[in-house]
Amino acid sequence: MNNMQQTDILIIGAGPSGAVAAGLLRKQGRQVLILEQQYFPRFSIGESLLPQSMAYLEEAGFLQDVVEAGFQYKNGAAFAKGDARTAFDFREKFSPGWGTTYQVQRADFDKVLADAAAKAGAEIRYGHAVLAVDVSGAKPCVTARDPEGREYQVQANFLLDASGFGRVLPRLLDLETPSDFPVRGALFTHIEDRIAPQEIDRNKILISVHPQQQDVWFWTIPFSNGRCSQGVVATPEYLARYQGTEVERLRAIIGETPSLLQVLRHAQWDTPGRSISGYAANVKSLWGQGFALLGNAGEFLDPVFSSGVTIAVKSASLAAQCLAQAADGQTVDWQKQYAEPLQAGVNTFRSFVQGWYEGGFQDIIFHEQHNPEIRRMIASILAGYAWDANNPYVAEPQRRLRVLQELCAPKPLAALAEAEAV
C-alpha cells in the first residue's frame, strides 16, 4: 500500500451517515473512499428508524436494498405510563412524505447500507483506523493504520467524519464541547420476547415510563424475527442503585414497572446486556476547512425519539448537496447551507426531548383529549419531520410546546374542587 494516497472524498466510518453520503456522492460521479475501523456486521444501538429517514435512503438509491432485507415494518409509536396508553400512527401526520419505516437490527441494517454503497462504487476499507488528521494544508490529510499495522496517508479534496460515537475529528481536532443535556445512561439487550400478538402492536416502538420516576423510561423495539431490543434510560445515579450484570439490573428496574413486566413476562433473556453512559455530545463547529461532521460525530441528544439515524442521513444529504455545488465551481457557505439547516431540525428535537424529561410533553401525549390537527403536527415531529417549517411546532417548537403543556398540565386538586363547586 502506497504511503501517500489520493482520493476525492474521504469518509471516516461506514455507518448510516457515511454509507448514505457515499451513495449520494457516487451518484454525482465522485470518487469515494471510506475508512471503517470495525468489521461489519457489528452491533450498534439506535434500532427504531423514523419515516423521514426513508426519503434519504431513497435519495441515495438504497431503498430496494432496505426493503428486500425483510426488516420489521413500523408505522408509529406507542406510549405507556401507569394505566395510561396512547399511540401515534405516523401515517396520520401533518407533513407530506413517508409515513412508515422499519425497526432494524443495526448490525444487519448498517451492513445493508454499506454493501449498497460499495455496490454503487465506493471503496470501503474495513479494519482501518484513523490515527491523525491534518487540515492545515490546502487539502485534508489523514494518517491511517491498516489491519496489518502498516501506516499510510490519504490526501482528499474533502473529508467527512461519519464515525458516530467514535467522534474521530472532534477528538483529533479538539472540537468537542460539553453537551448542555444532563448526563444519562442506558442498559439494554436483545431478547426472545415471546410477546402475545394482542399485547403490543409490533409495528410500533413501545415507550414505557417508570410509574414513579417520569425521567426513567424504557424502549421495547420488536424485530421481525420474534426478538426485540429492550432497554432503559435513566441518570447514572439511578442506574447505580441496582447491582449485578446489565441484564439483572435492567430486569430489576422493569420489575418496578407492572405494565412492561406484564408484556415481557414470557421473555427469554438469552443475550448479555450492554451499557452506555454520558452519550450526549456536542462540538464547537460542524465544519471547518476541508471537512464536515455528519450525524452523531457532531451532536447526539438522546435516544427517546429515535432521532439519531434520521439526523445522520439528513446530514449526509445536506453535505452531499454542498459538495455538488462546490464541484460546479460555486461558493459554498458551510455554516448557512449545512450547519444551520441541520441544527434547525436538531433544535426542534431538542425542545421535545427537554419537554419529555421535564414531564410537560408526557402530559401532552397522555392527555385524554387531543385536537386532531395538533395531534397530526406532533405525529410529524415523532416521525422525524423536524425540518418542515410549515409545521408550527417546527417553526416555534419551544413557544408552542410551552402553551400546549400549560393546557395539558394536570390540574391541582384545589383547582379541580373549585371547578366542581362551580
User: Cis before residue 341, ω within 30 degrees of 0?
Assistant: no
Q: Which of 82-91, 155-164, 295-304, 313-322 has the lowest mean pLDDT?
A: 295-304
Query: Are both 169 and 270 inside the same structural domain?
Result: no
CATH number at residue 134: 3.50.50.60
Backbone angles phi and psi of 281, in degrees to 5: -145, 160
261 within a domain of the structure (yes/no): yes
Instruction: State residue 343's pLDDT score.
Output: 93
74 within a domain of the structure (yes/no): no
Work out the pLDDT band at 416, boundaries 50, 70, 90.
very low
Instruction: State residue 417's pLDDT score.
Output: 45
Instruction: State residue 333's pLDDT score.
Output: 97
Work out the pLDDT band at 146, boundaries 50, 70, 90.
very high
Instruction: State residue 166's pLDDT score.
Output: 87
Residues 6+ apart with CB under 8 A from 40: 14, 107, 110, 111, 114, 126
For the residues 139-145, what does the mean pLDDT come to? 97
Query: Are both 138 and 252 inside the same structural domain?
Result: no
Query: Are both 153 and 192 inside the same structural domain?
Result: no
Which grid cell sits at 278?
A: 454520558
For the residues 387-411, what does the mean pLDDT come to? 94
Query: Are both 122 and 15 inside the same structural domain?
Result: yes
198 vs 80 pLDDT, higher one: 80
For the residues 98-110, what does the mean pLDDT come to? 97
Instruction: State residue 95's pLDDT score.
Output: 98
DSSP symbols for 306-374:
--HHHHHHHHHHHHHHHHHHHHTT----HIIIIIHHHHHHHHHHHHHHHHHHHSHHHHHHT-S---HHH
417 within a domain of the structure (yes/no): no
pLDDT > 90 fraction of the chain, expressed in percent and rounded: 85
For the residues 269-291, what does the mean pLDDT come to? 89
Residues 6+ apart with CB under 8 A from 339: 285, 286, 287
Query: Are both 222 and 248 inside the same structural domain?
Result: yes
Query: Are both 162 and 43 inside the same structural domain?
Result: yes
Q: Which of 277, 297, 316 is the last residue of a domain?
A: 277
CB atoms within 10 A of CB 1: 11
Number of structural domains (the chain) is 3
Query: Are both 13 and 38 inside the same structural domain?
Result: yes
Burial of 420 (0-12, 13-18, 19+ CB in 10 A): exposed
Instruction: State residue 108's pLDDT score.
Output: 97
CB atoms within 10 A of CB 315: 32
27 within a domain of the structure (yes/no): yes
Q: Which of 77-91, 170-184, 330-344, 388-402 has the lowest mean pLDDT?
A: 170-184
Query: Are both 217 and 270 inside the same structural domain?
Result: yes
Instruction: State residue 2's pLDDT score.
Output: 56
421 within a domain of the structure (yes/no): no
**pLDDT at residue 421 greater than cutoff 70:** no
Query: Are both 136 and 165 inside the same structural domain?
Result: yes
Query: Are both 253 and 397 inside the same structural domain?
Result: no
CATH number at residue 261: 3.30.9.100
Mean pLDDT of the chain: 93
Query: Are both 140 and 284 inside the same structural domain?
Result: yes
Work out the pLDDT band at 412, boundaries 50, 70, 90.
low
Euclidean distance between CA atoms 353 and 356, whole angstroms: 5
Instruction: State residue 415's pLDDT score.
Output: 45
354 within a domain of the structure (yes/no): no
Q: Which of 234, 249, 277 is the last residue of a domain?
A: 277
75 within a domain of the structure (yes/no): no
Contact of 43 with 188, CB cutoff 8 Å: no
Query: Are both 44 and 115 inside the same structural domain?
Result: yes
For the residues 365-384, what does the mean pLDDT come to? 95
| C-alpha gyration radius of the chain | 22
Which grid cell sits at 15?
A: 455507518
Per-residue model confidence as pLDDT tens digits over 65-95:
999 999 999 999 999 999 999 999 999 999 9
For the residues 174-197, what does the mean pLDDT come to? 89
For the residues 93-116, what does the mean pLDDT come to? 98
Residues 6+ apart with CB under 8 A from 86: 78, 79, 365, 366
170 within a domain of the structure (yes/no): yes
Q: Which of 260, 277, 294 is the last residue of a domain?
A: 277
In terms of Cα–Cα distance, which of 191, 167, 176, 185 is closest to 297? 167
Range of the domain at 210: 185-277
